[in-house]
Amino acid sequence: MNRFKVLLPCFAVGLALAFAGCINKPVTIEILHFNDLHSNFDSGRTTDLGGYAAVKAQLDKMRSDAVARGHQTLVLDGGDSFEGSPYFMAGNGSESMRLLAAMGADATVIGNHDFLMGPTDFNRLVGEAPLGFKFVSGNIDFDARRYPALGQNLKRYVTFTKGGLRIAVIGLTTDSPFYRWAAGDVAIVSPFLRAQELVAKLRVQNDIIIVLSHLGTSDDTKLARMTTGIDLIVGAHDHVALPQPLIVKNLTGGKVPILQSAPFGEGIGQLTITINKDRTSAINGYQIVPVRGNVTGLRDAAVDQLVRNAAARLETQYGTSWLNEQLAISKSPLANDENAGTNLGGLTAQAFQDSAHTDIALDFGEFHGFTQPAGAISRRSLLKVYPRMFELKPLGWTLYTMELPGAVLQEALSLLASSSGFQFTVAGASYDLNVVNGSRTLSNLKIGGEAVDLVKIYTIAIPEALARGAVEIPKLYEGPLASVLTDISASGDRMIMGFVVKELSAFNTTIKDTGVPIWSILETRMRALKNF
The pLDDT score that the predictor gives to residue 479 is 63
Indicate if the alpha-carbon torsion angle 297, 301, 303, 306 is positive or negative: positive
The pLDDT score that the predictor gives to residue 18 is 40
CA distance 224 to 314: 42
CA distance 160 to 25: 19
What does the DSSP assignment read for 372-415? BPSEEEEHHHHHHHS---STT-TT--EEEEEEEEHHHHHHHHHH
Residue 109 sits in the same domain as residue 58: yes
- The yes-or-no verdict on residue 281 having pLDDT over 90 is no
Residue 294 sits in the same domain as residue 323: no
Which tens digits make up the pLDDT trace of 369-396? 999 999 999 999 999 999 999 999 999 9
Residue 60 sits in the same domain as residue 204: yes
What does the DSSP assignment read for 185-213? TSEE--HHHHHHHHHHHHTTT-SEEEEEE
Among the candidates 259, 288, 308, a domain finishes at 308
The pLDDT score that the predictor gives to residue 421 is 61
pLDDT over 90 percentage in the chain: 80
Mean pLDDT of 103-131: 96
Residue 375 sits in the same domain as residue 261: no
Query: Residue 261: inside a domain, yes or no?
Result: yes
Residue 261 sits in the same domain as residue 363: no
pLDDT over 70 percentage in the chain: 91
In the chain, how many domains are there?
A: 2
Q: Kindly report the CA angle at 138 between 133 and 144, in degrees rounded to 5?
A: 75
Query: Residue 1: inside a domain, yes or no?
Result: no
Residue 169 sits in the same domain as residue 274: yes
User: Domain holding 503: CATH number?
Assistant: 3.90.780.10
Mean pLDDT of 97-113: 98
The pLDDT score that the predictor gives to residue 20 is 34
Per-residue pLDDT band for 417 (boundaries 50, 70, 90) equals: confident
Residue 76 sits in the same domain as residue 181: yes
Residue type, 272: T
Query: Residue 170: inside a domain, yes or no?
Result: yes
> The pTM is what?
0.92
The pLDDT score that the predictor gives to residue 341 is 65
Query: Residue 37: inside a domain, yes or no?
Result: yes
The torsion angles phi and psi of 172, rounded to 5 degrees, stand at -135, 135
Hey, is 32 helix, strand or coil?
strand
Residue 183 sits in the same domain as residue 85: yes
CA distance 518 to 521: 5
Which tens digits make up the pLDDT trace of 241-273? 999 999 999 999 999 999 999 999 999 999 999
Coarse DSSP helix, strand, coil percentages of the chain, rounded to the nearest 5 percent: 35, 25, 35
Query: Residue 141: inside a domain, yes or no?
Result: yes
- Domain that residue 266 falls in: 6-308
Residue 252 sits in the same domain as residue 214: yes
Alpha helices in 457-493 (DSSP H): 464-472
- The yes-or-no verdict on residue 8 having pLDDT over 70 is no
The pLDDT score that the predictor gives to residue 339 is 59
- The yes-or-no verdict on residue 475 having pLDDT over 80 is yes
Which tens digits make up the pLDDT trace of 142-151? 999 999 999 9
Query: Residue 280: inside a domain, yes or no?
Result: yes
- The yes-or-no verdict on residue 485 having pLDDT over 80 is no
The pLDDT score that the predictor gives to residue 13 is 34
User: Domain holding 122: CATH number?
Assistant: 3.60.21.10
Name the burial class of residue 115, with classes exposed (0-12), middle (13-18) and buried (19+) by CB atoms within 10 angstroms of its CB. Answer: buried
Length of the chain: 532
- The yes-or-no verdict on residue 344 having pLDDT over 50 is yes
Taking phi first (over 0 means left), then psi (-120 to 50 degrees means alpha), and beta for anything else, what does residue 325 get? beta
Name the burial class of residue 339, with classes exposed (0-12), middle (13-18) and buried (19+) by CB atoms within 10 angstroms of its CB. Answer: exposed
- The yes-or-no verdict on residue 106 having pLDDT over 70 is yes
Per-residue pLDDT band for 19 (boundaries 50, 70, 90) equals: very low
Mean pLDDT of 298-319: 98
Residue 336 sits in the same domain as residue 479: yes
Residue 278 sits in the same domain as residue 365: no
Residue 186 sits in the same domain as residue 327: no
Chain-wide mean pLDDT for the chain? 91
For the chain, state the CA radius of gyration.
24
Which tens digits make up the pLDDT trace of 214-235? 999 999 999 999 999 999 999 9
Among the candidates 252, 279, 308, a domain finishes at 308
